[in-house]
Amino acid sequence: MSYFGNVDKIKYEGKESTNPLAFKHYNPDQVIFGKTMREHLRFAVAYWHSYTYGGSDPFGANTLVRGYDKFTGMDLAKARVEANFELLNILGADYFCFHDRDIAPEGATLQETNKNLDEIVALIKSNMKTSGKKLLWNTANMFTNPRFVHGAATTNNAEVYAYAAAQVKKALEHGKELGSENYVFWGGREGYESLLNTDMGLELDNLARFLHMANDYAKEIGFDAQFLIEPKPKEPTKHQYDFDAATTLSFLQKYDLAKTFKLNLEANHATLAGHTFEHELRVARINGALGSIDANQGDCLLGWDTDEFPTDLYSTVLAMYEILQNENGIGRGGVNFDAKVRRTSVDPIDVVYSHIAGMDSFARGLVVASKLLEDRALENFIDDRYDSFKTGIGADIVAGKANFKTLEAYALQNNPIVTKSGRVEVLRTVLNQYILNA
Ligand code: XUL
Ligand code: CO
């Protein structure tokens, strides 16, 4: 059975191609800085957007009719597994990601739910074996079911906390079973609506306890995935605790979790927090915490998480510019398309087109960023801009040899202060030239 219209594996045809079912920029075997594009980018398909999402919005029902929609329950879950491996093969993407509740339906009890999951995980495992496809990360959905209305690890209800722990325990076991390279915690409903009813201190202490227990259990069962936290400032709760990279890092540091966690950063979450994607990547990178990315984009005219496929080349170039400068690039992480087709893109083939658009945009971002770095197009300017810290009083500051008295003595005799231009417009023109010509 084909769910995407018997499409052949997408090939690289180069930038002159007009074939919508071809890559114009993603050439998996092209080597850049000693690694192939495939190794740099480690593309992943997100189960929830590609197979589970049906196109509904707050005003309308599902619009995306798929071949597997004729099934229900476990039959539907099995058909989606088939669709997943078909799409990965078409795209030549090596990885996929899922929430536990994306892959199997909940039963009447936790026992039944876990049984459903075990069966689908076994099916996924056998498909991974025959196809060579891999799991980039798995996670637990602790936000859809009404039991999580007050949160999961930050709930006011210890019964829910215990249920959430049981759910993550199972997800860690499945991560191990499938050889997942990472495990993600996105704080679905870990936040609050109103301080009038919230004990913020207890909720955050409990969240840290939860993450320590997860670490301990992963160690106990020998699951050596990289743990990742995915920050998001709002939606579904008004104020999410893992607001952005900086907030999340300070939480991890306070609770002695910084050594075992890195960050999974998402472009649209960055913009919701009032940051650019590259800002979030930079904050993580300079703290040794850039683990993986959720590739998508928002709409600057809308204030919510639209999860569009990434096509903005400025953003993909600057994202890849950070990733290329990260120690070991994206490392064990990858470029996961946490992105969905618009509800007006109703055909199954749109899922293929949209991934091609995202993969090409990131491949182009990779090429342009590598040229920028190779030519030191920005670095030479940045080096020069901080020149004052290389000699004299600046060198003393950097070496920790200055104090307020020596700095005052310097300031008193240094008159006038000379200011250099930041040249932002010139640098933006340079960036444009690279995007157009690299
Ligand atoms: C929600 C979001 C999630 C996480 C995984 O905005 O990004 O899908 O990526 O739970
Ligand atoms: Co995400």
Residue-wise pLDDT tens digits, 289-303: 999 999 999 999 999
Who surrounds ion ligand 2 at CB < 5 A? 266, 294, 338
Amino acid present at 344: T
Strands, DSSP E only, in 143-223?
A: 182-186, 191-192
Q: Ligand 1 centroid to 433 CA: how many Å?
A: 34
> Residue 44 — φ and ψ, nearest 5°?
-130, 145
Q: What is the pLDDT of residue 72?
A: 98
CB distance 307 to ligand 1 below 6 Å: no
Using a cut of 0.95, tell me whether the model's pTM lies above it.
yes
4-8, 40-44, 352-356 — which is least confidently predicted? Answer: 4-8
Report which of residues 6 and 278 the model is more confident about.
278
- The three-class DSSP label of residue 292 is strand
Q: How many CA atoms lie within 13 A of 424 on its CB side?
A: 0
Q: Ligand 2 centroid to 184 CA: how many Å?
A: 9
Q: Ligand 2 centroid to 242 CA: how many Å?
A: 13
Q: What is the mean pLDDT of residues 384-396?
A: 98
Atom of ligand 1 nearest to the CA of 186: 10
- Which one of the listed residues 40, 49, 99, 269 is annotated catalytic? 99
Nearest to 161 by CA among 170, 178, 148, 172: 148
Cα(287)–Cα(45) distance, integer angstroms: 27
Give 79-105 pLDDT, tens digit per residue: 999 999 999 999 999 999 999 999 999
pLDDT above 90 for 238: yes
Closest ligand (CA of 97): 1
Cα(365)–Cα(389) distance, integer angstroms: 32
Encoded tokens for 139? 């996670």
CB distance 338 to ligand 1 below 6 Å: yes
User: Cα dihedral angle (338, 240, 329, 335), rounded to 10 degrees?
Assistant: 0
To the nearest whole percent, how much of the chain has pLDDT over 70?
100
- The protein residue whose alpha carbon is closest to atom 5 in ligand 1 is 186
Q: What is the mean pLDDT of residues 195-209?
A: 98
Q: Ligand 2 centroid to 338 CA: how many Å?
A: 5
CB distance 139 to ligand 1 below 6 Å: yes
Q: Ligand 2 centroid to 266 CA: how many Å?
A: 6
- The protein residue whose alpha carbon is closest to atom 7 in ligand 1 is 338
pLDDT above 90 for 412: yes
Atom of ligand 1 nearest to the CA of 269: 6
CB distance 305 to ligand 1 below 6 Å: yes
102 among known catalytic residues: yes
Ligand 1 pocket test, candidate residues 180, 242, 266, most atoms within 8 A of CB: 266
Cα(179)–Cα(225) distance, integer angstroms: 8
Atom of ligand 1 nearest to the CA of 143: 10
Bond from prior residue into 236 cis (ω within 30 degrees of 0): yes
CB distance 47 to ligand 1 below 6 Å: no
For the CA atoms of the chain, what is the radius of gyration? 24
Q: What is the pLDDT of residue 1?
A: 80
DSSP state of 60: B
